[in-house]
Amino acid sequence: MRQPSRLSIALLTYSTKPRGSVVHTLALAEALAEAGQRVTVWTLGRGGDCGFFRPVDPNVELRIAPFPDVSEEEFGPRILRSIQVLRDAFDPTGYDVVHAQDCISANAVNRCVRTVHHIDHFTTPELAACHERAIVNPYAHVCVSAAVAGELLDGWGITATVIPNGVEVQRFACAAGPAGAAARAAWRLRLGRYVLAVGGIEPRKGSLELLEAYALLHRRMPDVRLVIAGGETLFDYRSYRARWQQRAAELKVEPVVLGPVDHDALPALIAAAGVFAFPSTKEGFGLAAMEALAAGVPLIVSNLPVFREIFTGVARFADDPAELATQLGAGLAEPDVNAREAGRTLAAQYTWSAAAQRHLKLYQRLA
């Protein structure tokens, strides 16, 4: 098969922190570079960051625009400043393809391909306008699932190319195997038996619903803890987190909030979990959930169309906190061995090399 000619590709993202679209950007960049393409990742270095949350293949060129904190800056102006700083830093000269991975980076460039990871509905005026422009202005669109592509078609009449995420299967499978035994044991010694959620405390992750479910579960399984990892975000969720903490006190439960977890420590944390909870109210694919499957951990997800598309046959589904509690308890008490093996098989089908090749076909057609 004839190999595509070498392209110069700019991938743009809004942060160096470990959020889903940033994880996607780096993994795609590395896979494209491995396929022989010239790839540069452009981003904002928030809070003094000079590098990403993990090492990046040296074959990928990095351009990080300093984005210093401004005391007491409100959220809307911060969004506009983010766009302006990235716009001022970005030099489009010499690129065959400019590919933005979020609404901030899509607003910072004049002409781009855009990956729509999921559809949001913002109330902050600046962000709502940013979101709309980042959908209608790009000349081509990628979605990571057919469900999101359907939303884009129904809401805007835009036809997107569906290219699913890849998964670092080996990284999480190793954490679940003999080589990861010591690291798993260390997490279990620290945390005991636990339900794990990754993504922080925020509305889109269904954090309040998970808290209600955990309170129900805790009555039946008082030895099980709820552990929440992650939480790096651009958005201001302080009021939501305050409500979450108040509700935890009212329910008399004490979840363990780890905050951001080191990149190298995350696979063992996932592999050591009794069950992985992913009760999101809105997602584009569910990369963290797929990583849990790669580690052989029972998976419970909310009953969203995108999750039905991707996880049918390998996960348990829940519509509300009561059902979520029931399914969490079932996953802890009687893990479905067949579903576990099917989950590992499913995760292995999603590779970044395949995602890169599909992106290259799109880029060639566009170029």
Confidence at residue 360, expressed as pLDDT on a 0 to 100 scale = 98
CATH code of residue 283:
3.40.50.2000
Confidence at residue 332, expressed as pLDDT on a 0 to 100 scale = 96
3 falls within a domain: no
Distance CA 147, CA 306 (A): 5
Confidence at residue 312, expressed as pLDDT on a 0 to 100 scale = 96
Of 357, 362, 350, 231, the closest CA to residue 291 belongs to 350
pLDDT in tens, 213-229: 999 999 999 999 999 99
Mean pLDDT, residues 105-115: 96
317 falls within a domain: yes
Mean pLDDT, residues 116-123: 87
Q: Which residues touch 153 (CB under 8 Å, ≥6 apart)?
A: 159, 160
Confidence at residue 234, expressed as pLDDT on a 0 to 100 scale = 67
Q: Please report which confidence band the pLDDT of residue 47 belongs to, taking 50, 70 and 90 as the band edges.
A: confident
Of 112, 119, 118, the closest CA to residue 144 belongs to 118
Domain shared by 96 and 29, yes or no: yes
Of 271, 262, 207, 286, the closest CA to residue 17 belongs to 262
Domain shared by 146 and 113, yes or no: yes
Domain shared by 274 and 339, yes or no: yes
The residue type of 338 is N
Mean pLDDT, residues 179-183: 98
Can you name the residues that pair with 225 across neighbouring β-strands? 194
69 falls within a domain: yes
Domain that holds residue 288: 169-348
**Strand 140-143 vs strand 97-100: parallel, antiparallel, or unpaired?**
unpaired
Q: Answer yes or no: are the C-beta atoms of 175 and 183 closer than 8 Å.
A: yes
Domain shared by 108 and 208, yes or no: no
Supply 272's token pair.
Answer: 């050591």
**Residue 331: pLDDT over 50:** yes
- Give how far the C-alpha of residue 4 lies from the chain's centroid of Cα atoms, to the nearest Å: 29
Average pLDDT value over all residues in the chain: 94
Q: Tell whether the torsion through CA atoms of 349, 196, 209 and 283 is positive or negative.
A: negative
Supply 74's token pair.
Answer: 């409100």
Supply 261's token pair.
Answer: 């977890």
Mean pLDDT, residues 165-170: 96
Confidence at residue 48, expressed as pLDDT on a 0 to 100 scale = 86
**Residue 333: pLDDT over 60:** yes
2 falls within a domain: no
Domain shared by 155 and 174, yes or no: no
Confidence at residue 4, expressed as pLDDT on a 0 to 100 scale = 52
Confidence at residue 1, expressed as pLDDT on a 0 to 100 scale = 37
Report the number of distinct structural domains present in the chain: 2
pLDDT in tens, 58-100: 999 999 999 998 988 888 888 999 999 999 999 999 999 999 9
Domain shared by 318 and 282, yes or no: yes
Q: How many Cβ atoms are within 10 Å of 156's Cβ, its own excluded?
A: 15
C-alpha dihedral (144, 149, 150, 151), degrees to nearest 10: 100
The residue type of 170 is Q
